[in-house]
Amino acid sequence: MTISLKECQLMDSQDTLAGLRDLFDIPENTVYLDGNSLGVLPKATLNRVTDVVKNEWGQGLIRSWNSAGWFASPQRVGNKIAKLVGAYENELVATDSTSINLYKVLFAAIQKAKTSPYSAQHRYVLSEKSNFPTDLYIAQSLCAQFGLELKLVHWNDVQAHLNSEVAVLMLTHVNYRTGAMYDMASMTEKAHSVGALAVWDLAHSAGAVPVDLNAAQADYAVGCGYKYLNGGPGAPAFVWVNSSHANEFHQPLAGWWGHATPFQFTTQYEPAAGVSRYLCGTQAIINMSALEVGLEAFEAAQALGGMDALRKKSLALTDLFIQLVNERCTGFGLGIATPLEHSMRGSQVCLSRETGAYAIVQALIARGVIGDFRAGGASTGEPDILRFGFTPLYIGFVDVWNAVEQLKQVLETNEWQAEQFKQAHAVT
């Protein structure tokens, strides 16, 4: 029996997290299911950024590096992110972009692997074919630099290819195309058992699913500030290094902010202690302030059960979406690309379709249901994807019902076949 709109309204009325939605500025008549690509605007961000620009910059000027705490912002904001990913105090810094941070930690991981008892056997950095492309590009560059090969396998086959020839296992915890989630602890343990180090990309995990880097004994991790953390477009990313590795090796982008005493202005580089050495140049303070506001929603959520409560709601939202699509959108060539098992699913649901996926997404966007499209094809051997992210901070159960209702109408009327929806945009 199909779930009704009234039942979804009841679910929203019983949702203890529903009030968190009021912290965000969501456009009217919009069902925003793309927070896994760009989170929505927290209402407090505008005033905070205005204060930074008008008062801290405008009036405090250079004094604000001290008086407004600008200089310590990578560590301060990093410690707030740390609470969401199982990092200890002062183990994580907010800085740079995910791609730049991945370059730093993968370089450090390969350097460390060279000192391993297995180093003579090491030939590969191992990853999956459908990993996010920037991760693969960074790995290709570093493999060429260090004389290694980048070995790419299907995500189901990664564990079978872990052996003593692997120097570094580089995985995204939640796959950007499908929402499939690895067991981080299990994969890290397997990597360590064959002498490999584990590097994790948390771009689709941080703020969406519970993560415990230290419990998993991961080695390195990076992540994004503008998706589930709602830091705004181009928000600083973050980098974490296991404390057992943090003081080993210089990361390759040795800049003055990562120096032990930057205002001594010495000509020789001396790395700061711990993860602060993974800083490089001057920080983007206005963007950092916006990210800090985005993290305040998680502080509010802490009183309501924190990440465990958010995860429970996320699974309920994605379960509902899957159920409604199966009940109301059959016969239109849609498949469920996201794992049904809770332990293997992130906070998104991806629908597969052999043709027309892009146009269907565009037709939905025109109706106010915003998801996005991810191409399949020869590079992945997989069909195209209609991708929908469910951010439990601000998505409700009625949103899910409305999204599927609009999808049903787009499919039933063939509205998506209009030429206007087939015109490719630069960003999909």
Residues 321 and 282 in one domain: no
**15 shares its domain with 133:** no
Residue 228: active-site member: no
Q: What pLDDT digit, counting tens, does each position of 75-128 carry?
A: 999 999 999 999 999 999 999 999 999 999 999 999 999 888 888 899 999 999
Same domain, 93 and 152: yes
280 plus 359 within the same structural domain: no
pTM of the model: 0.95
Residue 86 falls inside a structural domain: yes
Based on the fold, state whether residues 379 and 340 are members of the same structural domain.
yes
Domain CATH for 385 = 3.90.1150.10
* DSSP run (H or E) holding 293: helix 285-302
Residues 361 and 371: beta-carbon distance below 8 Å: yes
| 45 lies in some domain | no
Catalytic position from the list 227, 313, 345, 367: 227
What's the domain count of the chain?
2
pLDDT at 129 over 70: yes
3-state secondary structure 217-247: CCCEEEECCCCCCCCCCCCCCEEEECCCCCC
* Domain limit, last residue, from 266, 298, 330: 298
| Mean predicted confidence (pLDDT) in 299-310 | 96
Active-site residue (options: 15, 34, 135, 201): 201
Question: What count of other Cβ atoms lies within 10 Å of the Cβ of residue 338?
Answer: 27
Q: Are residues 267 and 310 in the same domain?
A: no
Residues 10 and 104 in one domain: no
Instruction: Give mean pLDDT, residues 168-172.
Output: 98
The average pLDDT across 354-375 equals 95
Choose the catalytic residue: 32, 132, 238, 421.
132
* Distance separating alpha carbons of residues 360 and 410, to the nearest angstrom: 7
In a domain, 426, yes or no: no
Digit-coded pLDDT (tens) for 192-245: 999 999 999 999 999 999 999 999 999 999 999 999 999 999 999 999 999 999
Average pLDDT over residues 312-321: 98
41 found inside a domain = no
Regarding whether 398 and 327 lie in a shared domain, the answer is yes
Mean pLDDT, rounded, of the chain: 95
What are the tens digits of pLDDT across the range 280-303? 999 999 999 999 999 999 999 999
Q: Domain containing 347: what range?
A: 5-32+306-421
Active-site choice (107, 226, 394, 397): 226
**Which of the listed residues 298, 314, 333 is the one where a domain comes to its end?**
298
Quick check: 377 pLDDT over 70?
A: no
Q: Does pLDDT of 273 surpass 60?
A: yes
Report if residue 40 sits inside a domain. no
Q: What are the beta bridge partners of residue 384?
A: 353
How much of the chain is in helix, strand and coil states, percent to nearest 5? Answer: 45, 15, 40
| Average pLDDT for 273-285 | 96
Among 21, 387, 394, 399, the active-site one is: 387
Domain end, chosen from 298, 328, 348, is at 298
pLDDT of residue 380: 58
86 and 217 in a single domain? The answer is yes
Catalytic residue check, 387: yes
Q: What is the CATH number of the domain that holds 279?
A: 3.40.640.10
Residue 43 falls within a domain, yes or no?
Answer: no
Same domain, 208 and 334: no
Question: CA quadruple 278, 281, 282, 284: dihedral positive or negative?
Answer: negative
Tell me: do 25 and 93 sit in the same domain: no
Could you tell me if residue 239 is inside a domain? Answer: yes
Phi-psi region of 213 (alpha: psi -120 to 50; beta: other; left: phi over 0): alpha
Is residue 226 flagged as an active site residue? Answer: yes
Residue 395 lies in a domain: yes
Co-location of 246 and 328 in the same domain: no
Residue 358 is among the residues annotated as catalytic for this protein:
no
Burial 204-238 (b: 16+ CB within 10 A, else e): bbbbbbebebeebbbbbbbbbbbbbbbbbeebbbb
Is 114 annotated in the active site? no
